Amino acid sequence: MGTSLYLYIYRDFFETRDIEIMLVRIAILTLLIPLVFLYFLKVIGKIDSMMIQKVEQRKMPLAFQVMLMTLLLLSVELYQSMPGLYLFFLGGMTATLIALGFLFLQKKVSLHMIGMGALTSFVMGISLETGENISYLIALLFVACGAVASSRLLMKAHNYTELTLGFLTGLLPQLILWRFWL
What are the 10-residue block averages of pLDDT along the chain, 182 residues in total? 92 91 92 96 93 92 96 84 93 97 96 97 95 94 97 94 97 96 86
Residue 42: CB atoms within 10 A of its CB come to 14
- Does residue 7 contact residue 22 with C-beta atoms inside 8 Å? yes
- Does residue 51 contact residue 89 with C-beta atoms inside 8 Å? no
Nearest to 123 by CA among 98, 142, 148: 142
pLDDT at 182: 82
CA–CA distance, 109 with 8 (Å, rounded to integer): 31
pLDDT at 86: 94
CA–CA distance, 1 with 182 (Å, rounded to integer): 20
pLDDT at 81: 85
pTM of the predicted model as reported, rounded to 2 decimal places: 0.93
Q: Which residues contact 72 (CB under 8 A, 6 or more apart)?
A: 25, 26, 29, 30, 78, 89
The three-state secondary structure class of 104 is: helix
Question: What type of residue sits at position 103?
Answer: L
pLDDT at 84: 92
Question: What type of residue sits at position 61?
Answer: P
